[in-house]
A and B are shown apart, each in its own frame.
Chain A
Amino acid sequence: MSCGNDIDLITYADPIPVVYGIICPKDSIHEITLKRSFICENNIPLYSSNPDSNYYPNAQIFLETRVQSGEIIQRTEMFKYELPPRETDMFVSSPNYVYRCLKKDLIVTTNGKKELRYALTIHIPDQNKTIIAESIIPPLSMSGITPNPGSEGIKLDLFSSRPQKFSWRISLDFYVEFETKVNFLEERNGKWEEASISHFKKYNHADTKARGAEVIVNGDWFYPMLGGKIEDDPEVTSRKFMSIDFILKTADANFYDYFFYEHYLTDLSTNTFTNIVDGLGIFIAYNKAEWLGYSLNQRSLDHLALGKYTKHLNFTRWD
């Protein structure tokens, strides 16, 4: 008689700040997003389309550089900035707020010998809530990289007996991603439009005992990759190869954990990864070495236009 069988499924809880920030000290602008969770009994679309349910209006956000022992080296405030409306979905598309600061306001001067980290601090006065997230800044000059980043204008021969090779030294402290970005033009209705595809190879920091890693750029790998990545589009009548960029990104090892939880865990798992203290989300610093503007020699272009993996893409035989 005295027992109640009703279960209260909706219990009020304070909103949880949700942060997403992946920043690189080499970028001219650093940008993060801050949103909030909300609880409602019904009519979720009504709440989710209301900016007040999605944003904290008075959040104070600072980006700092700190050394390993926590001492603050520099601090700059991140200001609210409105981006063009997001694509329409169940959440509010406009206003589309991010928080920004400029690279020049927070100069990173680590040479890799001393550990420097970014600290993102957020204070939400309405809730009297404070959150912090920290991420190691990978060294600006990564060790053991060959060739030296920045070399441009090289014509790749994808059938050479000495193919182009990129190599680097592995550090267990960092997650590494090697991006191959192929830039090309697509002819659609008589007009040429820029397009690109990217291939990412990921190197988990913890799953190897090797001291180094390398990527060899040859036809065996390149053409099947490109053929698989570019989607068939009947409106595209022709494509023209422009260039290839290679980008080696190094991130705080936490990024792999985040990536793993987001992509590989099944729906049955209720675990989430966050490195935000008293909040949710991810805040990661990464660094990058770039080799931009590589082109293909005539033999490699011929195979791009006529080879069995990419013939259907209608690439021209000239660059």
Chain B
Amino acid sequence: MSRHISLYVLILFAALASCELPDKQEPEADFTIQPRFGDSLTVFHFDASNSSDNYTDNFRLKVRWDINSDGEWESEFSINKHFAFKFPRNDTYSISCEIIDDQKNVSSFTQLLQVVPVPRDSIFTDLRDGQKYKAVFLFDRWWMSQNLNYGTHLPEGDKTYDNSIAEKYNYPYASYDSIYGGYYTWNEATDYGRELEKGVCPDGWRLPRIDDIQRIKDILFFTSDYTPYLAMNKQFMLDLALSGKYYLSTKTWHLQGTTGNVWINHKQPIDKFLSWIYYCKNPRRRYDGPYNPILLTDYQPLDTEFVEWQNIWGEFSYHKIALPIRCIKDHEIN
């Protein structure tokens, strides 16, 4: 009897020993792209070092790259997880990385990458008052890199009048003038509806439109964090300031250092107005109410959205609020 048991155990052991656990699990492909944004002179660095597998050690995983996801691999399978590439022209590219493990399981991962022109920066003078403003050529048009600060400074609480004089409010601390610029009511921003397109901007410049801002959002579609691109001293050199807003009715300043708005001209009936708002996500409430002021230098993530105000909204009504202005100049083709 015991001999039989020994025989069964032996057979069972032999059967188990001959079995190899099949590894059918695909490796987990992952890679980073640095930088995340660049032009046709930029060499992008692709790094798949963070890819992993349940059986195969990381250093044995092999990687190959298809830089345009056209099925033609730009590299052979290699244990080298790094790859560098420079794109010949501005376009959107689909980058695929394929990983193979020791058991020939394959997986791939694809990311999009946009190659766009290099931003150029400059300084121009507003001939009306001789003030100089920084500007940046961004996606086929010039953007002011500073908020407009043109016009007559009104004391807090004073009302604006339709008197053909551009009137503005200024944040009470003079050191912020160059950052926050002037705050204009919609009426002052558009010369009481007579200059919906140009607004109070210098000659040759105009108020931003939705398509201007949508262009930036399209370019940044790949990221939910706009800070590295739009914030002060960042990639796009747009230097968006968290300038908040000024309420005329209460004569109070709101959300400086936390959010920023600029007026948008969207050619809508006079009872609707748009602003572009950009803000730090971190405050629990985006708009009014208790919040913890966060300085931009804390590198909190920014987001952007449009806010549409109707003048029936009372406190948010256009004539009770003053916002900064960023002007735009269309590219002149010589």
Contacts and interface: CB of A to CB of B under 8 A. Distances in A.
Contact of A71 (B83, B84, B228): B228
A121 B43 CA distance: 6
A69 interface: yes
Interface in B227-270: 228, 234-235
Interface string A117-132: 0010111000000111
B86 interface: yes
Contact of B45 (A62, A75, A277): A277
A130 B86 contact: yes
A123 B86 contact: yes
A72 B83 contact: no
A69 B223 CA distance: 13
Given A70-B33, A72-B35, A278-B83, 15 more contacts: A62-B43, A69-B228, A70-B45, A71-B35, A72-B38, A75-B41, A119-B45, A121-B42, A121-B84, A121-B86, A123-B86, A130-B84, A277-B82, A277-B84, A278-B82
Shortest 7 CB-CB contacts between residues of A and residues of B:
A70-B34, A121-B43, A70-B35, A132-B84, A277-B82, A130-B86, A277-B84
A69 B83 contact: no
A11 to B, nearest CB: 14
Contacts, number: 51
A66 B86 contact: no
26 contacts: A62-B41, A62-B43, A66-B35, A69-B35, A71-B35, A71-B36, A71-B37, A71-B228, A71-B234, A71-B235, A72-B35, A72-B42, A121-B43, A121-B86, A122-B43, A123-B43, A130-B85, A130-B86, A132-B43, A134-B45, A277-B45, A277-B80, A277-B83, A277-B84, A278-B82, A278-B83
Interface string A42-81: 0000000000000000000010001001111001000000
Contacts of B82: 277-278
Interface in A255-311: 277-278
A278 B34 contact: no
A70 B36 contact: yes
Contacts of A69: 34-36, 228
Size bracket of the B interface: 10 to 19
Contacts of A121: 42-43, 84, 86
B41 to A, nearest CB: 7
Given A71-B235, A121-B84, A130 B36 contact: no
A131 B86 CA distance: 9
A72 B45 CA distance: 12
Nearest to A122: B43
Contacts of B35: 66, 69-72
A124 to B, nearest CB: 10
A277 B80 CA distance: 9
A66 B37 CA distance: 12
B226 to A, nearest CB: 13
A72 B37 CA distance: 9
